[in-house]
Amino acid sequence: MTRLFNDPAAFADEALEGFVAAHPHRVRQVPGGVVRATRTAPGQVAVVVGGGSGHYPAFSGLVGQGLAHGAAVGNVFASPSAHQVRQVAKAAQTGGGVLLAYGNYAGDVLHFGQAAEQLTAEGIPARTLGVTDDISSASAAEAHKRRGVAGDLVVFKAAAAAAEAGHDLAEVTRIAELANARTRSFGVAFSGCTLPGADHPLFTVPEDRMAVGLGIHGEPGMGEQPVPSADEAAELLVSTVLGELPEGVDSPRGQRAAVILNGLGSVKYEELFVVYRRVAQLLHEAGVEAVDPEVGELVTSFDMAGVSLTLCWLTDELEPLWTAPADAPAYRKGTVEAADLISEGPAEQAVEEPVPAATEESRAAARTVLAALRTLKSTVDTHADELGRIDAVAGDGDHGIGMQRGSTGAYEAAVRAEQLGAGAETLLHRAADAWADKAGGTSGALWGVILRAIGTALGDTGRPTAPVVAAGVAEAAAGVMRLGGAEVGDKTMVDVLVPFAGALTTATADGQPLSIAWDTAASTAAAAAAATADLLPRMGRARPHAEKSLGTPDAGAHSLALIVRAVHPVLAPTLEIR
């Protein structure tokens, strides 16, 4: 379990601060994460990686010459926000565009994808690549749905070495895709980690049993077996990985492969070496030449007891990229030609952007929105433990803490915006960015979308009417479905948001005042949230033991219903709005 922390909510930030203090010659901290402390050649493609905290050396430990140019660092097990990714990318890029590379998880896909769009819109060409090496997470036919594990390292390294060699963004992206297509991982686990401040492990495996193919956050695997001997574990890992050769590789014999035997946290070095002894024998027997094998902790999950094997089937193009020198805090290879350290000037003062002009009517609406955000935050605070417990039934139990981080950040940004005289749109947009930024993860991105859509509907001029509010909520529902890819019936917040938006639209179109319409819609929402208890989660959601959640509502649906009910009294002053 994780024992040493201060405020659990500050864990990821404090870890990053300590990491940077320990590695001042390799990395420097920027808003959203870290970038290389060394100068990068102008025009070089920047490879920016990232993901949640708790997986060190992924992702910050992989920043340095020959490896990543920067890493966006999210909260514990939560994706960084699009805003964070964008900030890190802008600090890392030197004019050659940016490849954003990350493990293929829902939250990361959302945020890195948004960041790429925004960067491109700002004139910084950006491409994305979600690593999909874990063969236990989806069938070969659905390889694009697979999640990324220790194969991240091979893909990041190939891309970065290609960037250092001067290739352009299209070529670096092609090489990263090639490396990803030829990389396969498979892992087993004996126990899960307990996150900082949590009471219980994220998941458990029965004693004397081994979970086969379990994900690093406890995502469902392929079953359980008795704990094997080290040699048997090696045989399972090798036979499974060799059992799915990439396109163009007909037989292992005569192939050369990058090999990673990765410890997840508390399967320790000597155990890994005992397993590797047999892995090396088996690869040799299969005719595979292991090139620069790595045996150690490359992608962890705190102290999760697990081990995974990764092979990247090298080509003539990929091999020199794998063997190229690198010099990151947690990954060093060969000898890099040391680049100049960037001498940091005086720390940049964050300049607060002025708010656009707003009418008095919109500023009044903004004050109502602010009051609603205050209520939202206190509602989340009151229910945080309950939300965590509900989420823990079938998920990773962090919904309460994520909602707290997001709603607190949103409220604080809104307070500041109101002080600056913001209208409703600007206030909600700033709250939206702050929510996504502070919460990270999937729900952070989706709540960012909700607040932003409503803000856009309200505008910074004029007095919002009830139909306008309803239209904003409807647009929010559409945006959440678009971004999150879920539909009604998937047991997500969409199951509440869509009927809520529908009820609000119908009632306001009938000419009901906002407060009355909202009251009706909130009841609809509560019923819809309760109904999620009877559903199974959507396929592919990263949730272990999904069947356990039968009888328990979805945490995201439940929190949304609580919130729309709680903010109703705040909307009473808008009773007369039609």
Residues with catalytic roles: 217
d(CA 70, CA 29): 10
CB-nearer residue toward a second copy: 91 or 307: 307
Question: Does 14 interact with a second copy (rule: CB under 8 A)?
Answer: yes
Closest CA to 337 of 351, 318, 324, 352: 324
DSSP-assigned letters across all residues of 16-65 = HHHHHHH-TTTEEEETTEEEESB---TTPPEEEEEEEESSTTTTGGGBSB
Give yes or no for residue 57 binding a second copy (CB under 8 A): yes
**Shortest distance (Å) from residue 269 CB to a second copy:** 4
Where does this chain touch a second copy (CB under 8 A) — which range of 90-98, 245-253, 287-295, 423-431? 287-295
| Residue 166 backbone zone (phi > 0: left; psi -120 to 50: alpha; other: beta) | left
State the nearest-atom distance from the C-beta of 232 to a second copy, in Å.
9
Count of helices and strands (H, E) across the chain: 16, 14
Tell me if 181 contacts a second copy by CB under 8 A: no
Cβ-Cβ contacts under 8 Å for 144 (sequence gap 6 or more):
104, 132, 138
- Residue 230 as a binder of a second copy (CB under 8 A): the answer is yes
Stretch that binds a second copy, among 6-14, 358-366, 526-534, 551-559 (CB under 8 A): 6-14
Q: Does 52 participate in binding a second copy (rule CB under 8 A)?
A: no
The one segment of 17-25, 118-126, 311-319, 476-484 that binds a second copy by CB under 8 A: 17-25
| 335 lies in the binding site for a second copy (CB under 8 A) | yes
Q: Which residues contact 289 (CB under 8 A, 6 or more apart)?
A: 255, 256, 257, 283
CA neighbours closer than 13 Å in the CB half-sphere of residue 438:
22
Q: How far apart are CA 221 and CA 205, in angstroms?
A: 11
Q: What is the largest CA-CA distance in the chain?
A: 79
Least Å from the CB of residue 326 to a second copy: 11
> Judged by CB, which is closer to a second copy: 132, or 310?
310
Per rule CB under 8 A, is residue 411 in the interface with a second copy?
A: no
* Residue 18 found at the interface with a second copy (CB under 8 A): yes
Report, in Å, the least distance between residue 263 CB and a second copy.
10
Peptide bond just before 59 cis, omega within 30 deg: yes
Site size toward a second copy, by CB under 8 A = 58
From the CB of 166, what's the least distance to a second copy, in Å?
A: 23
Q: Which of 509, 561, 502 is nearest to 531 (CA)?
A: 561
| CB closer to a second copy, 99 vs 272 | 272
Which range touches a second copy (CB under 8 A), out of 49-57, 102-110, 148-156, 552-560? 49-57
Smallest distance, a second copy to C-beta of residue 277, A = 3
| 3 state DSSP class of 244 | coil
* Nearer Cβ to a second copy (15/72): 15
Per-residue tokens: 316: 């003539």
- Check residue 332 for interaction with a second copy (CB under 8 A): yes
Q: How far is CA 124 from CA 50, 85, 91, in A?
A: 18, 13, 12
Question: Using CB under 8 A as the criterion, what x/- string covers residues 239-278 for binding a second copy?
Answer: ----------------------x---xxxxxxxxxxxxxx
Burial 531-541 (b: 16+ CB within 10 A, else e): bbbebebbebb
Cα–Cα dist 393/278, whole Å: 38
Q: Name the site residues for a second copy (rule: CB under 8 A).
A: 2-6, 11-12, 14-19, 21-22, 53-54, 56-57, 61, 190, 196, 227-231, 233, 261, 265-278, 280, 293-297, 300, 302-303, 305, 307, 330, 332, 335, 338
